[in-house]
A = this chain, B = another copy of it.
Amino acid sequence: MQVSDLSQTHRIGPTGKSSLLETRLLRLLIKKIEPLPVRLILGSGATASPTNVEPQYIVWIQDLRTLADIFLDPEVGFGDAWSDGRVRLIRGELVAFLETAYETMQRVWNNPGWYRRLLSSRQESREANTLEGSLRNIHSHYDLGNDFYKLWLDEQLVYTCAYFPEPKVTLEAAQRAKMDHVCRKLRLRPGETVVEAGCGWGAMALHMARHYGVRVKAFNISREQIHYARERARREKLTDLVQFIEDDYRNASGIFDVFLSVGMLEHVGRDNYNHLGRIIERLIGSHGRGLLHFIGRREQGEFSRWIRKRIFPGAYAPSLREALEVLEPFGYFVRDIEDLRAHYARTLEHWLERFDQSARKVAFMYNEEFERAWRLYLAGSIAGFRAGSLQLFQIVFSGFRSEHIPCTRDDLYTAKHKWKTVMS
């Protein structure tokens, strides 16, 4: 248990007289979030803590308005107040606090009242992933500026879950290992064609071309990312093998051997899974194979509304059953599913560590509110993967007529192939 810096740098003492309303609302909030071991302190001096559990954390809440926001809409209320400094953690560490919150407050997340349901459905319709909606949603996140992402991602700007063959490998090596793991699961062979839906800054497409000799058409609607990827392809003389296309994956055409999507299903939207399946069928038919790599959940549920509002508009993390709606209606064989939850927690720990080292730069590039919001997002994601409210699935699938996936998975783990690029 540690008293954080904030308690020294900010005046948190009573600023006035606390009203009866404040005291009652504080107590109601404590009751609502039980058994979270937290003491709440209001700016006015009012305070409350749970009866049956020793508080490990102390949260300071600026005023009655902030308290009411959190009470009515815990995720968005807390997230927004955290971002603009109206709520602070003055004892305890943020990731651990959020992890405890996810673990103990299942009831709060799983049983939204009518008010939160109403807010949620209005938010959903605003964020719908139509062709135009996706452009807006993706632009608002991925076009924040490559310089920002360079501050805390790995050298290749891979903004998806890495794969840690050993816990101690560097983030750079773990991202290369992830790319190899994916390529090997797909059993890529020289000369084959791959369509990649959502290619980020292009690292995966370039890796496949360079190390596996395949031809890639990679789609992305984020302009900043595509420009960066094209520039990199030119620099690395891979433009004859890799084509970066600034367009929605839904507009892709042609016939390919392999469909790949890493970290894109989260942006497809719950209502569009069947449509995605139809597009996959159009692109690889029954001869092809593919891999979906995405954030999922062990049971159906909403993505954090605050994250959707401030960080990832339109995002949704499906349960495995929901995700299979992409494949089952089209008769694809599911060949292999792996859960990499622990790897995403580890990846995010690296990101948060680098982010924290650049916190001042981030606040200078944008503002303090932005910096605090992103810190909350990264810390909350670590907590989500640790606590198990989020998972990371890789699904390997193949068409009826595909004969490329062998009968055993031995080849993924043989010494010959093992993490060849990790060590290079």
Mark A residues whose CB is within 8 Å of B.
163-165, 167, 298-300, 319-321, 324-325, 328-329, 331-343, 388, 391, 393, 400, 407-410, 412-414
User: CA A299 – CA B400 in complex, angstroms?
Assistant: 12
Q: Decide if B328 touches A298 in the complex (CB within 8 Å).
A: yes
Tell me the nearest residue of chain B to A415, going by C-beta.
B415
Partner of A331, one of B167, B299, B412: B299
User: CA A340 – CA B336 in complex, angstroms?
Assistant: 10
Q: Decide if B391 touches A333 in the complex (CB within 8 Å).
A: yes
CB distance from A199 to the nearest CB of B (A): 26
Q: Decide if A409 touches B335 in the complex (CB within 8 Å).
A: no
Q: Decide if A408 touches B165 in the complex (CB within 8 Å).
A: yes
CB distance from A233 to the nearest CB of B (A): 31
Q: Decide if B413 touches A333 in the complex (CB within 8 Å).
A: no
Q: Decide if B336 touches A388 in the complex (CB within 8 Å).
A: no
Q: Decide if A328 touches B334 in the complex (CB within 8 Å).
A: no
Tell me the nearest residue of chain B to A319, going by C-beta.
B328
Tell me the nearest residue of chain B to A403, going by C-beta.
B342
Partner of A321, one of B300, B324, B388: B324
**Are A300 and B328 also in contact (CB < 8 A) when A335-B339, A337-B336 are?**
yes
Q: Decide if A342 touches B400 in the complex (CB within 8 Å).
A: no
Q: Kindly list chain B residues whose C-beta atoms are within 8 Å of the C-beta of A412.
A: 409, 413
**Which of A298, A325, A388 has the most C-beta atoms of chain B within 10 angstroms of its own C-beta?**
A298
**Are A409 and B400 also in contact (CB < 8 A) when A298-B334, A334-B298 are?**
no
Q: Kindly list chain B residues whose C-beta atoms are within 8 Å of the C-beta of A407.
A: 164, 167, 340, 342-343
User: CA A400 – CA B386 in complex, angstroms?
Assistant: 11
Q: Kindly list chain B residues whose C-beta atoms are within 8 Å of the C-beta of A163.
A: 408
Q: Decide if A338 touches B409 in the complex (CB within 8 Å).
A: yes
A-B interface, 4 closest residue pairs, ranked by CB to CB distance from nearest: A413-B413, A337-B337, A342-B407, A321-B324
CB distance from A345 to the nearest CB of B (A): 10
Q: Decide if B321 touches A328 in the complex (CB within 8 Å).
A: yes
**Are A341 and B333 also in contact (CB < 8 A) when A407-B164, A413-B413 are?**
yes
**Are A321 and B331 also in contact (CB < 8 A) when A339-B336, A413-B409 are?**
no
**Which of A324, A336, A407, A409 has the most C-beta atoms of chain B within 10 angstroms of its own C-beta?**
A407
CB distance from A409 to the nearest CB of B (A): 7
Tell me the nearest residue of chain B to A181, going by C-beta.
B408
User: CA A333 – CA B414 in complex, angstroms?
Assistant: 27
Q: Decide if B298 touches A331 in the complex (CB within 8 Å).
A: yes
Q: Decide if A334 touches B337 in the complex (CB within 8 Å).
A: yes
CB distance from A49 to the nearest CB of B (A): 26
Pairs A–B under 8 Å by Cβ, sample size 15? A163-B408, A167-B407, A298-B328, A298-B334, A299-B328, A319-B328, A321-B325, A333-B341, A334-B393, A335-B338, A336-B337, A336-B338, A336-B339, A343-B407, A412-B413
